[in-house]
Amino acid sequence: MPLVNLRETTLRDLNRSLHALPPDTNETHWTVRHPDGRHAVAAGLDRAIAVEIEGHVGYYCAGMNALAQVVVHGNAGVGVAENMMSGRVHVRGDASQAAGATAHGGLLVVDGNAAARCGISMKGVDIVVKGSVGHMSAFMAQSGTLTVLGDAGEALGDSLYEARLYVRGAVTSLGADCIEKAMRDEHRAELAGKLAAAGLAGEVDPAEFRRYGSARRLYHFTVDNAGAY
């Protein structure tokens, strides 16, 4: 169980060590102390390891993650889990803007709130936010799911493609081409699975959520919709 103190070891050396791990490594559980808001902590991982970060992190923590399980015992700055491919990233505190941006897969869990543009241009990731999300969340989201136990800010799902959005609280407003859709049994089952994956099995009732998705009016340009582009 390697332990790295970032007040004694450089961030570059930490990330270099993580990237150099062989596929059959037995150093599978890392602890990082005193991140002190540094950027790109544990970015670019591509091994099935666990990394626990004890403290707050800056921009792009666990960006481009593949396979790894990363836990932040604190708050995360802009772009946590940005472009994640697989694995799991868990923020025990709050997340700043663009959490899970462009992520293709895996699971991002935020125990607190996530700021503006959570899930922007998401491409297959599942995001569960136990608090609320800010404005323009799921902007241009293409696939995957965004589950919000709290409220959503303005312009939720603006220019949405085929991602599914589940919100338990109030939605300030919907963005262009985003509409509320029927919550059928298949969606309740999907949502139950996402909640269970986030450690909320049996704690939250999927029936309390509303579903939002694309009206599919902006897939092709028409002059009648010019004002919405």
Residue range 8-64, pLDDT digits in tens: 999 999 999 999 999 999 999 999 999 999 999 999 999 999 999 999 999 999 999
Question: What is the rounded CA–CA span in Å between residue 173 and residue 177?
Answer: 12
Question: What's the total number of domains in the chain?
Answer: 1
**Domain of 175?**
3-228
Beta strands in the chain (DSSP E): 3-5, 29-33, 50-54, 69-72, 88-91, 107-110, 123-129, 143-148, 164-167, 178-181, 210-214
Strands 143-148 and 210-214: unpaired
Q: Distance between CA atoms of 39 and 54, rounded to whole angstroms? A: 14
Question: For the residues 124-135, what does the mean pLDDT come to?
Answer: 98
Rounded to an integer, what distance in angstroms lies between the CA atom of residue 211 and that of residue 208?
10
CA 59 from centre of chain: 14
Q: Which pLDDT band, with edges at 50, 70 and 90, does 229 fall under?
A: low
User: CATH number for the domain including 40?
Assistant: 2.160.20.60
How confident is the model over 51-62, as pLDDT tens digits? Answer: 999 999 999 999
Q: What pLDDT, on the 0 to 100 scale, is given for residue 193?
A: 97
> What is the pairing mode between strands 50-54 and 69-72?
parallel
Name the pairing type of β-strands 210-214 and 29-33: unpaired
Give dist(CA 17, CA 99) in Å, integer.
25
- Statement: residue 110 has pLDDT above 70: yes
